[in-house]
Chain A
Amino acid sequence: MKMKKWGVLAVSAAMVAALGLFGCSGGDAKPAEDKKAEEPKTEAPAEMTLLKEGTLTILSSPDYPPFENLENGEIVGYEVDLFNAIADEMGLKLEIQPLQFDGIIPAIQAGGQGDVGVSGFSVDPERAQQIDFTETFYIDDQAVAVMNSNTDITSENAAQALNQEGVIIAVQSGTTGEAYVQENFPNATVQPYGNGTDCFAAMQSGQATAVCTNLAVVKRMLADAYPDAHMVLEIATGEEYAAVVSKDNPELTKALDAAIKKLQENGTIDQLQDKWF
């Protein structure tokens, strides 16, 4: 028994030590890199740091058509095309690392996995405490869809019919759609799912009455996968989409902002929006 206790203690001490080490390396490695980058050219303005020389690594959750999703094993979408253009503009190669939506902001903060988080992030003051947002490159709205078999909720009465007890609205957890439903349909039950596709699957299988998520996503889902559902409400909430960058890397944010502005001016962004939406 005694031996066992000591063993437990030793293991937990080892774990704490490991965490501590990890913490140190996470905390110390970055500034060291920054110094390295800065020291040789003290005169020049601070350089942006990239995970890999010459490559812009973006983190994205490819389950959000038409912004980014997997098609024949490749990640495609508006944001993918846009960041290809941005990387071109910056003279960099683009690399996409898939990651779950809720893991992207933590990963960008922690560093080591990617330079920019690009996954339909809307600008939000709470998120802005953790990371920096780039310039916005898309403005999206919210929409609510129900199954065709549901005749109780129609385009005419949607705003009232959705705000009722017993109505279950599927949302993607942690998104602005969730916040919108909580604010505007307080009587309905909000049912969060891990991603947008699951929200629709849940509605189709009867676990939820309706889905509330971004307009472009709803439109794409209805067109591609759910012909038996339709949109009942469209709300021009005007959410501004932007990419997220670590607060330690303000130069990268500036460079991205410059590239986004340029693409806005030369019409590339408009072209891409016409292509995808």
Chain B
Amino acid sequence: MNKTPCFTPASSSPIARALGRLAPIVLAAMMLLALAPASALALDTAKCTARPNGSTGSEVYGGTETRVTWEGQADADEAITGLSIVFPQGTTFNDDTTGKARITLLTADQSQRLGFLDADYALDGETFTATLDEPAQAGGYLRVEIYGVFFPVSGGEMVLSGSYTLEDGATLPVDDIQPIAVTGVSTTGQITSWLSDQEWVQAWNSNRFLRMFLNPVIIVDSFPVVFQGFLMAVAIVAVAFPLAIPLGLCLSLMRMAKLRVLRGLASLYVNVVRGTPLFLQIYIAFFGLPLAGLSIDKFPLGVIVLAMNSAAYLCEIFRAGIQSIPAGQTEAARSLGMNGAQTMIFVIIPQTVRRVIPTMTSEFILLYKDTSMLAAVGVMEVVMYAKTIVASTGSITPYIVAACFYLVITLPLAKVVGRLEARLAGGGRRRKHRGAGAGATRPLEGTDSAGVTAYVTDALTSQPVIKNDAPDAGR
């Protein structure tokens, strides 16, 4: 942005003169020159944008490769022979800039392509110059695509300027180029560009397997993006699972109800939901319900579909749990004068809870993994983000990153399930009591569920407590 070179005699070459657009004096002189041969000339910029170069979203980052597209409409009597665009100081380019640049002649509404124009491309510092082999059709709408552009790492409003040359040799400035907003290179961007320069990374990536599955550059690049999806997946499952539990319990009670209609309805629901792929259920809900006039946002809709699916599985888990409670428990409670509901709430369900917790945790893990299915309908969760990066980079690495985000949740939970199962199978509470005297009737233990059970059991049926705690004992 130094103005002085414009006034030195050394800068009288056409390119340097093009640079002179910053110097009002030179500019004014050029305008005067231009006004002489033709009147009211202007190459109006229709747009000047850079292709987003983050892994997602519309941001253009500095220090990362992008493609700049400039489009402009020439006046009816302007036949352009050359165009140069000056990028802000600090912009760098790669071989693609002169090798891949392309100029297209379009109709004014950009809907039809009239042809690609052959041109020579040159770079001088921050100035990109295209010299057309033949003058473009007068009044043409031109698009110039410049590949391999790296805006300064610091980002900011990138002010581009330009000039163009006409058939008669006149050089004129390009009007109103809108600045391009460039985001300063992100931390991950800095790390990835540092990484890709490292020798060990290059050596690592020279192995095909490592490059495809564990490319360090793409790991760093995709991590923050896939993390957004992870938050989404956790949010979905955190809402869906608590919803599925009461729904599943209702269904299981319906399946065991005396009324045949209720039983039929519940088993129809459970069998249909368990008998069809979740994938199809998601498709039907997302594309079918809106057609039926039900318009629900993606997030709640995803939550509802998953909750309803999970409820069918939980129903069976609960039913198995409830039915595993010996009939004597119900009989005992009823003979104490409890009604059906009381028996269920105070005697049966508290005992069931302990038995179903391991299977419920497994169901939770399944549900969490099933959030990945929502990717098919555009819910931005882990797999969707990973898929997008895979499709554009062609590397499998983002899927590995995604897998890690699933394991973060599922591995600790699997361990919890293991612990719970071990405890139910013979550890925990029972061991404590055995110390006090195995097989002895348990004393009334305050108000917790086991206490109630123990009390009911001991007082009325004289069944050994042990039978309630371990389903397999005595069988």
- Report whether B378 and A205 are in contact in the complex, using a CB–CB cutoff of 8 Å: no
Residues of B within 8 A of A175 (CB): 391
B391 (CB) vs chain A CBs: closest residue: A174
Please give, as numbers and ranges, the residues of chain B lying within 8 Å of A105 by CB-CB distance: 394
A207–B286 touching, CB < 8 Å? yes
Does A41 lie at the interface of the complex (its beta carbon under 8 Å from any beta carbon of B)? no
A101 touches B378 (CB 8 A): no
Contact with A along B102-130 (1 / 0, CB 8 A): 10101100111100100000000000000
**Does B388 lie within 8 Å of A183, measured CB to CB?**
no
Q: A194-B387, A236-B106 are in contact. Are A182 and B52 (CB under 8 A)?
A: yes
What would be 13 A-B contacts, judged by CB atoms less than 8 Å apart?
A: A23-B213, A26-B209, A106-B212, A194-B376, A205-B287, A205-B291, A207-B378, A233-B111, A234-B111, A235-B111, A236-B110, A238-B102, A238-B113
Q: Residue B142 at the A interface, CB < 8 A?
A: no
CB neighbours of B377 from chain A (8 A): 193, 198, 202, 207
Q: Indicate whether A130 reaches chain B with its CB closer than 8 angstroms.
A: yes
Residues of A within 8 A of B378 (CB): 170, 191-193, 198, 202, 207
Q: Which residue of A lies closest to B210 (CB)?
A: A23
B433 at the interface (CB under 8 A from A): no
Q: Decide if B113 touches A198 in the complex (CB within 8 Å).
A: no
A-side contacts of B104, CB under 8 Å: 236, 238
A204 touches B291 (CB 8 A): yes
Whether A173 lies near B111 (C-beta < 8 A) is no
The contact of A198 among B67, B213, B376, B422, by CB within 8 Å, is: B376
Within the assembled complex, what's the spacing in Å between the Cα atoms of A151 and B35? 45
Residue interface bits B49-78, CB-to-A below 8 A is 1, else 0: 111100001100000010101000000000
- Residue B396, interface by CB 8 Å: yes
Chain A residues whose CB sits within 8 angstroms of the CB of B248 once the complex forms: none
Q: Does B100 contact A (CB under 8 A)?
A: yes
Known: A23-B209, A125-B65, A207-B286. A130 touches B49 (CB 8 A): no
Q: Which A residues touch B389, using CB under 8 A? A: 174
What residue in chain A is nearest B65 (Cβ atoms)? A125
Q: Interface residues, chain A, CB within 8 Å of chain B?
A: 1, 4, 19, 22-24, 26-27, 30, 101-103, 105-106, 109-110, 124-127, 130-131, 139, 141, 170, 173-175, 178-179, 182-184, 186, 190-194, 198, 201-202, 204-207, 233-236, 238
Q: Which residue of A lies closest to B52 (CB)?
A: A182
User: Do the beta carbons of A126 and B209 come within 8 Å of each other?
Assistant: no
Complex partner residue of A205 from B288, B384, B422, CB under 8 angstroms: B288
| Residue pair A22, B209 in contact (C-beta under 8 Å) | yes
- Closest chain-A Cβ to B65's Cβ sits at a distance in Å of 7
Does the CB pair A174–B209 fall under 8 Å?
A: no
Bound-state CA distance A192–B96 (Å) is 28
A110–B394 Cα distance when bound, in Å, is 11
**Could you tell me the distance in whole angstroms from the C-beta of A148 to the nearest C-beta in chain B?**
15
Question: Do B112 and A236 have beta carbons less than 8 Å apart?
Answer: yes
Q: CB distance B207 to A23 under 8 Å? A: yes
List of B residues within 8 angstroms of A201 by Cβ: 287
Assess whether B387 is in contact with A110, with CB atoms less than 8 Å apart. no
Contact A179–B287 (Cβ < 8 Å): no
Chain B min CB distance to A187 (Å): 9
| Chain B residues positioned under 8 Å from A23 (CB to CB) | 207, 209-210, 213
CA A106 – CA B116 in complex, angstroms? 32
Q: Is the CB of B113 within 8 A of A206?
A: no
Q: Compute how far the CA of A24 lies from the CA of B287 in the bound complex, rounded to whole angstroms.
A: 44
Q: Are A182 and B57 in contact (CB under 8 A)?
A: yes
Partner of A173, one of B210, B290, B384, B395: B384
Nearest to A247 among chain B residues (CB) is: B208
B392 beta carbon closer than 8 Å to chain A: yes
Q: In whole angstroms, how far apart are the Cα atoms of A178 and B54 in the complex?
A: 13
Q: Given A23-B209, A183-B51, A184-B49, A101–B58 Cβ distance below 8 Å?
A: no
**Residue B393, interface by CB 8 Å:** yes
Cβ < 8 Å to A, chain B residues 21-61: 47, 49-52, 57-58
Is the C-beta of B148 less than 8 angstroms from some C-beta in chain A?
A: yes
**Cross-chain contact B148 with A186 (CB below 8 angstroms):** no
- Check B390 for interface membership: any CB of A closer than 8 A: yes
When the two chains form the complex, which single residue of A27, A106, A190 contacts B394, counting CB atoms closer than 8 Å? Answer: A106
| B342 interfacial by beta-carbon distance below 8 Å | no
Bound-state CA distance A184–B210 (Å) is: 36
Cα separation A141 to B393 with both chains bound (whole Å): 21
List of 9 A-B pairs having minimum Cβ-Cβ separation, nearest first: A174-B391, A105-B394, A23-B209, A102-B391, A236-B113, A205-B290, A130-B394, A234-B111, A186-B58
